[in-house]
Amino acid sequence: MSDLLQPVRRAASIQDWTSVNDYLQKLLSSSDLPTAEILPLALQVLEFGDFQQRWDVVKVIPKLGEIAIAPLLEILTDEEADVELRWFAGGILADFQHPKIVESLVNIINTSPEAELTEMAIATLGKIGTPTIDAIAELLKAAETRLLAVRTLAQIHLSQTIAPLLSVVTDPQVEVRSNAIAALSSFHDPRIPAILRKSLADFSPEVRKAAVTGLGLRQDLAKELDLVSYIEPLLNDLNLEVCIASAIALGRMGTAESARAL
């Protein structure tokens, strides 16, 4: 093992980060992985490497285990650090599940002025999944973070997100309503079709389009809920996109009634 550690340290000393990455990849194949010695070298690549070198070391760090969490969180929460560096650190944390990670990512959504970091935090929380849902649901309570919370919940694709999404389907913010409706449309839950039907009458064309698109995915309920009679009037909607979405939804129904409506 020392034979491999010597050249990787030498490469790091001259800031040859590409070679450091190559050596680290070889070290990963060892059955006796010296994570405590490898991690500082990997973090150097993350801190000082270019974009490609950082991208490559992202594949290494998660394999070093939970020992990587603390230094990654330190980078992520350092407001003076390079935005790209923080972006990479946050992305790596998607491979771990720890309350501090969720807390830090939620804090970024709440406070960061950097759109890149906010988007990264949303995506990372979505990848982590179930452990993040309660923390994200808390963001629904504040108007300024509600849309971000809905967009994050939409990426998780677990039934545990249905209840918090249902809580905002009548929110005053159009984007919140439309994103919640779109997210709910991916679930086959008995509470959702009635919400979608009601949203067909929303004053916002964004919401109407999301609702009719969602109902178009429920061909299985076409006859039971008489969906054609709800969707057909929207063929004459004042908004062209809603009209088109309605025609597509009816086309998906595949019934004699939907064919006549078209």
What does the pLDDT look like over 196-255, one tens digit per residue? 999 999 999 999 999 999 999 998 887 888 888 899 999 999 999 999 999 999 988 877
Report if residue 163 sits inside a domain: no
145, two tokens: 């973070």
Cβ–Cβ under 8 Å, residues 97 and 132? no
86-132, pLDDT tens digit by residue?
999 999 999 998 888 988 998 898 888 888 998 899 889 888 888 88
- Mean pLDDT (the chain) is 90
Q: What is the pTM of this model?
A: 0.75
Report if residue 221 sits inside a domain: yes
Report if residue 222 sits inside a domain: yes
CATH of the domain at 107: 1.25.10.10
Integer CA distances (angstroms), 189 to 68, 134, 226, in order: 39, 20, 17
Whole-angstrom distance, CA of residue 108 vs CA of residue 86: 11
Domain hosting 77: range is 68-156
How many domains does one find in the chain? 3
